[in-house]
Amino acid sequence: MFIDTHCHLNFKAFEGILDPVLERSKKAGVEKIVIPSAKLDSSRKAVEIAGKYSNCFAAVGIHPHHALDRHAEFDSASSENRTQILKQVQDDNDIKKQLLSLASNPKVVAIGEIGMDYHHYKNSPAPDEETKGIQKELFLLQLEIAYEKKLPVIIHCRWAQTDVFNIISDFIKKKPLNGVFHCFEGNKEYLKDVLNLGFYVGFDGNSTYPENHHLRELMLLTPLDRLLLETDAPFLTPIPYRGTQNEPAYLINVAETVSGIHKKSLKEIEDLTCSNALKLFSI
């Protein structure tokens, strides 16, 4: 059995097409799916889908992109107001309460995706120091929830390796937890550091793109008892489907890439990555 450990079936792209998507996934041998969330509403949706389909499992959490959602005025606020808003975020237990309650559902198997993102996207500039501070607060809050609920974490980290690593390594010294660095990016040293933490490493469809040699190098350096397969569907569609909407059935194309790089049969990759996913998420 293959397990897609990162697939956003809770996103709009899958609305109304879940049955055929899951049908094709099953046919391809991808029999279990973990659905990570980005906001409170997608967390609720993930739990709802996991409740409906026995082979689907939810991860609840707030993605760093959405750290400022409740404070859309932040960007245009004066520095005085910004301090106020920052304080509000720190004082606000509402997110914690809601996530804790969602995480009590037996189909919730992780907290995620959570982390830090300093990338400059088309419609949002790279975060300034205050925004980074808010991302950090939100990240720490959710690590705390994972620890309280004894759940693993799904880490999203983009252009924020040093900060993410420092936050996690400090946190787990006092409060041990495990998880996956999903859609891994970084250099070889960073990969080594992440492996030393005891975390798993997730690879996605972008590892099949010809230009991404560095991802395949990292894939080879990742021991097979620590590697997880992800689609991150509807994004990052692997070759040869690049240009269309990604879906869990295409996990096989990521698995084939791992198989080629590690020079192991597809069956061995299937068994090893499946056992990793079962171990980490207890599904």
User: In the bound complex, what is the minimum distance in angstroms from residue 274's beta carbon to Zn ion?
Assistant: 20
Sequence-ordered strand ranges (E) for the chain: 2-4, 30-35, 56-60, 108-117, 153-158, 179-181, 200-203, 227-229
User: In the bound complex, what is the minimum distance in angstroms from residue 232's beta carbon to Zn ion?
Assistant: 5
**232 annotated among ligand-binding-site residues:** yes
User: In the bound complex, what is the minimum distance in angstroms from residue 181's beta carbon to Zn ion?
Assistant: 10
Give the interface segment with Zn ion, choosing from 104-112, 129-137, 160-168, 230-238 (CB under 5 A): 230-238
**75 annotated among ligand-binding-site residues:** no
25 exposure class (CB count in 10 Å sphere: 0-12, 13-18, 19+): buried
- Work out whether 232 is an interface residue with Zn ion (CB under 5 A): yes
Q: How far apart are CA 194 and CA 84, in angstroms?
A: 35
Helices 161-174 & 129-149, crossing angle to 10 degrees? Answer: 30
Residue number, 137 or 185, with CB nearest to Zn ion: 185
Are 127 and 68 in contact by the 8 Å Cβ rule? The answer is no
- Work out whether 226 is an interface residue with Zn ion (CB under 5 A): no
55 exposure class (CB count in 10 Å sphere: 0-12, 13-18, 19+): middle
Q: Which of 149, 156, 216, 226 contacts Zn ion by CB under 5 A?
A: 156
122 exposure class (CB count in 10 Å sphere: 0-12, 13-18, 19+): exposed
Judged by CB under 5 A, the number of residues near Zn ion is 3
Residue nearest to Zn ion (CB): 156
- Work out whether 4 is an interface residue with Zn ion (CB under 5 A): no
**8 annotated among ligand-binding-site residues:** yes
- Please list, in sequence order, all residues whose beta carbon lies within 8 angstroms of the beta carbon of residue 145, skipping any fewer than 6 positions away: 96, 99, 100, 103, 111, 151
Over the window 103 to 122, marking each residue x when it contacts Zn ion by CB under 5 A and - when it does not, the resulting string is ----------x---------
User: In the bound complex, what is the minimum distance in angstroms from residue 16's beta carbon to Zn ion?
Assistant: 21
Which spans of this chain sit near Zn ion (rule: CB under 5 A)?
A: 113, 156, 232
Known binding-site positions for a divalent metal cation: 6, 8, 113, 156, 182, 232
Known binding-site positions: 6, 8, 113, 156, 182, 232
